Amino acid sequence: MSSNKNILVKLKDAGFQINDKWLVKGVSLQVEKSKIVTLIGPNGSGKSTTAKIALGIYKKIEGSVEKNTDKIGYVPQKISIDWTLPLRVYDFMVLTENLNEETIDEALSLTGVNHLKNKNLGDLSGGEFQRVLLARAISKKPELLVLDEPVQGVDFTGEIALYELIKKISDELNCGILLISHDLHTVMSATDYVVCLNGHVCCSGSPMDVAKNNEYKALFGEQASQILSRYEHRHDHIHTSEGEIKKN
Amino acid sequence: MLDDFFIRALIAGLGVAIVTGPLGCFVIWRRLSYFGDTLSHSALLGVTLAYSMEFNIALSVFIISALIALTLIHLQKRTNLPGDALLGLLAHSSLAVGLVVIGFLSFIRFDIMGLLFGDILAVTVKDILIIWVGGALILLVLRLIWKPLFASTVNYELAEAEGLNPDRAKVIFTILMAGIIAISIKMVGLLLITGMLIIPAAMARNISSSPQKMVMYSIFGGLLSVILGLFSSLEFNTASGPSIIAASLFLFILSLLNIKQSIKLKN
């Protein structure tokens, strides 16, 4: 446990219900500076709900949320932009914060979509839009990044490159990341702490600890457990943007 | 030669158009056209109360519309009725109560047509003052809440997550809507205010590629509609409100040509 001032957001026994149905209950976790916390779990296990509790989008919750930062970047899982809005990528980038041209170009270049800056948001493909979403979240240099399946719809090589980028951002900006992902392979190589959800916290700990956990095995199967443990020796290689794995 | 009353109406109308331009964009973006209708229907109650208590009309309409709007926000959270049912409920019940109150006020002669469709003859210097001062205030507040309001219009959860407080912006915007209805009721009339809000903005949507451009074109469209509408109102002796709205419809139809062209270019 590090000292208190490193904690960006802390959930204590948090839960949320709609129409008397608990979406998630009894979640305790904390995200610290320069740490990546990953939420995993099956569909409907409350991953996005947990993220929304942490972000303060859901207000009538059980338990408590303690948020120590206002500089937050969020990539939601689902986002629908209305065609009634004439919105270019540029307008979307400055949606919640005034940024200068340079910062915008830099962020868009990092996710490989700077050429789309003046395009209408509605004309982008799913993968392109996802890259714009990620660029927008990192452009404001947040202290806390909440990424809800940030690479969905992105091509395979792009996916690996974006996860590399997320890791790099966490190191460079010293920001904490709350990550939700289905892709155990790619995510685990960079995660510091895993929380396995299934309506409640099934188990949590380092990727290695979680992999050994019986509840995790029951939820994801023996194979998934092997995936996690394979990444225990995660510092002996790097992924290039071409999708190759290089030994250090 | 232009008459004094016409100059007054022109100044008042242009003032209204500058404010309805940006507000109308938000009405379209946030899908609030029926909300605008509800507020303007409730304005009748505001007008009758103003007459019966010898109170300023704009202020009375503003207070009643704002109350109805806040009631709506409250009811949306507290009931299981869908939004459109709540809108209809508030619109027609406040209209009905307004009409009932008119019935009691038999000692006052009402110009119902003027109330419904606007009356340029009735615009006084004081009205102009209310429109321009009130309008400037509305625009100033809109400028201040632009960021959270626009961000939450694009995506509520993004705005909320990144600390912009969209709920507060929504309440303030709702009060601004009550404000524009209060200041424009004499010019456009309570049946047509929503048209003044959405038609220039809809026209602007057809020809703009960014939100800022849409706001600018919406203002220009509104100004042009007021000028065209008022001159034809003078020429053909028609009511000011319908003439302005008809002019804005004309501009909207012109803007459709632009859409056709851009679709052709795409293919």
* Shortest distance, CA B161 to any CA of chain A (angstroms): 5
* Shortest distance, CA B145 to any CA of chain A (angstroms): 12
| A224 falls within a domain | yes
pLDDT at A85 over 90: no
**B151: nearest CB among A79, A95, A140:** A95
* Cα nearest neighbour of A71 on chain B: B162
| B62 falls within a domain | yes
Q: Measured between alpha carbons, how far is residue A234 from residues A33, B95, B109 in Å?
A: 21, 69, 85
Residue B47 three-state SS: helix
Nearest CA to A229 out of A197, A206, A201 is that of A206
Q: Which residues in chain B have their CB less than 8 angstroms from residue A140's CB? A: 162
ipTM: 0.83
| B214 falls within a domain | no
Per-residue pLDDT at B261 = 62
| B154 falls within a domain | yes
| A219 falls within a domain | yes
Rounded CA-CA distance B16/B128 in Å is 10
pLDDT at A102 over 90: yes
Question: B53 lies in which domain range?
Answer: 4-189
| A88 falls within a domain | no
Q: Which residues in chain A have their CB less than 8 angstroms from residue B161's CB? A: 52, 55-57, 72, 74, 76, 146
- The domain total for chain B is 1
| A192 falls within a domain | yes
How many Cβ pairs within 8 Å bridge chains A and B?
70
More confident residue, B136 or A199: B136
Given CB atoms, is A91 within the 8 Å cutoff of chain B? yes
CB contact under 8 A, B164 and A96: yes
| A244 falls within a domain | no
| B126 falls within a domain | yes
Q: Which residues in chain B have their CB less than 8 angstroms from residue A97's CB? A: 162
Per-residue pLDDT at B1 = 44
| A120 falls within a domain | no
| A5 falls within a domain | yes
Q: Which residues in chain B have their CB less than 8 angstroms from residue A84's CB? A: 28-29, 31, 205
B42: domain CATH number is: 1.10.3470.10
* Cα nearest neighbour of A146 on chain B: B161
Rounded CA-CA distance B59/A211 in Å is 67
Per-residue pLDDT at A81 = 76
Rounded CA-CA distance B267/B264 in Å is 5
| B176 falls within a domain | yes
Per-residue pLDDT at A229 = 60
A213: domain CATH number is: 3.40.50.300
Q: Which residues in chain B have their CB less than 8 angstroms from residue A57's CB? A: 157, 160-161
User: What are B250's two structure tokens?
Assistant: 């004309």
Ramachandran sector of residue A198 (left: φ over 0; alpha: ψ -120 to 50; beta: rest): beta
pLDDT at A158 over 90: no
More confident residue, B258 or A244: B258
Rounded CA-CA distance B36/B31 in Å is 10
- The domain total for chain A is 1
The amino acid sitting at A92 is: F
Residues contacting B35, CB < 8 A, separation 6+ = B27, B69, B72, B87, B177
Residue A175 three-state SS: coil
- Whether A104 and A138 have beta carbons less than 8 Å apart is answered as no
Per-residue pLDDT at B145 = 96
Question: A67 lies in which domain range?
Answer: 1-71+145-153+177-231
* Shortest distance, CA A218 to any CA of chain B (angstroms): 34
Given CB atoms, is A164 within the 8 Å cutoff of chain B? no
Given CB atoms, is A152 within the 8 Å cutoff of chain B? no
Rounded CA-CA distance A188/A184 in Å is 6
Task: Estimate to the nearest angstrom the gap between the alpha carbon of A246 and the chain centroid.
Answer: 25
* Cα nearest neighbour of B166 on chain A: A57
Q: pLDDT-derived band of residue A235, with 50, 70 and 90 as boundaries?
A: very low
Distance spanning both ends of chain B, measured CA to CA: 51
| B155 falls within a domain | yes
pLDDT at A247 over 60: no
Q: Is A234 exposed, middle or buried (0-12, 13-18, 19+ CB in 10 A)?
A: middle
The pLDDT tens digits along chain B (267 residues) read 456 888 998 999 999 999 999 999 999 999 888 998 899 989 989 988 888 888 888 899 999 999 999 999 899 888 888 888 999 999 999 989 988 888 888 777 777 788 888 877 778 899 999 999 999 999 999 999 999 999 999 999 999 999 899 999 999 999 999 999 999 888 888 888 899 999 999 999 999 989 999 999 999 999 999 999 999 988 998 888 889 999 999 999 999 987 766 655 554
* Shortest distance, CA B142 to any CA of chain A (angstroms): 16
Question: Which among B154, B206, B258, B262 is the top mutation candidate for probing chain A, defined by the most A β-carbons within 10 Å of its own β-carbon?
Answer: B154
**B214: nearest CB among A56, A73, A86:** A86
- Whether pTM > 0.90 for this model: the answer is no
Given CB atoms, is A55 within the 8 Å cutoff of chain B? yes
